Amino acid sequence: MARATTTQRKALNTALAWGVGLLIFFPILWTILTSFKTEAQAIADPPVFLFFDWTLENYAAVQERSNYGRFLWNSVVIAGGSTLLGILIAVPAAWSMAFVPSNRTKDILLWMLSTKMLPAVGVLYPIYLIFIKMGLLDSKLGLVVVLMLINLPIIIWMLYTYFKEIPGEILEAARMDGASLREEVLYILTPMAIPGIASTLLLNVILAWNEAFWTLNLAAAKAAPLTAFIASYSSPEGLFYAKLSAASTMAIAPILILGWFSQKQLVSGLTFGAVK
C-alpha cells in the first residue's frame, strides 16, 4: 500500500531535509564567510554573520605569502594520478572477483576493507622508513602510490558492486564472439560500467584531494598539495582565522566546483543497485 503523503507532510520533510543539509554545509559556509572578514571580525564575540566589511585582503595576503598554483598542481597530480593508477589496478581485480569468484573472494573483499579499519598512524613509521630508503619522501610519485593504496579497497569494492550488476551472459557472448580477455574488458565491460567507473573516479578524486594525514606526513615542500597549503596557516606564531579560512576556501574550491557539476552522476553512482 502506498503511504499517503499529505502536503503538510511533504513540507515538513522538505524543511527537515534543508535543515540537515544546512547543518552539514554550515562549517563550509562559515569558512567561506570568515575568509572575507578582517582578522578582528573573524574572532569577534559575538560572531558576525553577514553584516561585516567584506574584504579580499586575506586572499591577497595568502597569494602573496605562498604559491597557490604550485600546491594546486601537486593536488591535481596526486589526486588524479592515484585515482587513475587505482582504477587501472581495480578494474581487473574487480573483474576477477565479480566474474570468476573463488571460495575466498568474499573473504578477500572483507580483508581488503579491514585495512581501512586500522588507524593510519599505526603504519606511519614503517611507511616513513620505506619512503626514506626508497628516496620517495616529499615526492609526488610516493604520494600517488600511497594514496592509491589507501583508497584501493574502496575503488575495488565500488567497481565490484557495479560489475556484479552486469549479466555474465553478455561477457560469455563476447567470448563466443571470439573476444580475448583484453577485448572483453575493453569493448564490452568497460563501456557498460562507465557510469559506475565515473562515480568511482569522482569519489576517489575527492577522497584523495582531501586526504591530509599522509600528505602532511610524507611531503614537506616540493610535493606538498593543498592540504599542506592550509596547514601552513595554522601556525605557531598565532591564529589567523581569516587567512586560514581564505586558504581553506581556495583549497576546497576546485573540488567543490567539480562536485557541484557532477553531483547527479555521483548520487546515481553511489545509490546504484541500492533501489530496485
Partner 1 sequence: MGRITLDKVSKRFGDVEVIPPLDLTIEDGEFTVFVGPSGCGKSTLLRLIAGLEDTSGGQIRIDKQDATHVPPAKRGLAMVFQSYALYPTMSVRENIAFGLKIRGMPKDEIQQEVERVADLLQISALLDKKPARLSGGQQQRVAMGRALARRPKIYLFDEPLSNLDAKLRADAREDLLELHRRVGTTTIYVTHDQVEAMTMGDLIVILKDGEIQQVGSPMEVYQQPANKFVGSFIGSPAMNFIDGIIKNGEFIAPGINIDLNAKDRIVDGLEVSLGIRPEDIAINHGNIEAIVIVTEPLGSETIIHVQMGETSLVTKHPSMTTLQTGEKITLQFKSDKIVLFDKATDYPVNI
C-beta of 119 vs 178, nearer to partner 1: 178
Q: Is 107 in the site for partner 1 (CB under 8 A)?
A: no
Residue choice 47, 177, 253, 261 for contact with partner 1 (CB under 8 A): 177
Taking CB under 8 A as the rule, does residue 78 contact partner 1?
A: no
Answer for which of 69, 122, 126, 178 binds partner 1 (CB under 8 A) is: 178
Question: Which of 256, 258, 216 is CA-nearest to residue 31?
Answer: 256
Q: Which stretch binds partner 1 (CB under 8 A): 90-98, 129-137, 183-191, 212-220?
A: 183-191
| DSSP assignment letter at 185 | I
Q: Does 169 bind partner 1 (CB under 8 A)?
A: yes
Q: 11 vs 181, which CB is nearer to partner 1?
A: 181
176 binds partner 1 per the rule CB under 8 A? yes
In eight-state DSSP terms, residue 121 is G
List of residues 6+ apart from 76 with CB closer than 8 A: 254
The residue from 175, 254, 256, 265 that contacts partner 1 (CB under 8 A) is 175
CA distance 218 to 224: 9
Residue 89 or 179: the one with the smaller Cβ distance to partner 1 is 179
CA distance 228 to 241: 16
- Kindly report the backbone phi and psi dihedral angles of residue 257, in degrees, each rounded to the nearest multiple of 5, phi listed first: -65, -45
Give the C-alpha separation, 260 to 265, whole Å: 10
Q: Which CB sits closer to partner 1, 70 or 175?
A: 175
Number of residues near partner 1 (by CB under 8 A): 17
Select 64 or 169, whichever has its Cβ closest to partner 1.
Answer: 169
Distance in angstroms (rounded) separating the CA atoms of residues 30 and 240 = 15
What's the helix, strand, coil split of the chain in %, to 5? 75, 0, 25
Nearest of 220, 210, 203 to residue 270 by alpha carbon: 203
Q: How far is the CB of 118 from partner 1 (least distance, A)?
A: 34
126 binds partner 1, rule: CB under 8 A: no
Please choose, from the candidates 245, 247, 248, the residue with its C-alpha nearest in 3D space to the C-alpha of residue 64.
247
Regarding 100 and contact with partner 1 (CB under 8 A), the answer is no
- Give residues in contact with partner 1 (CB under 8 A): 167, 169-170, 172-179, 183, 187-188, 191-192, 194
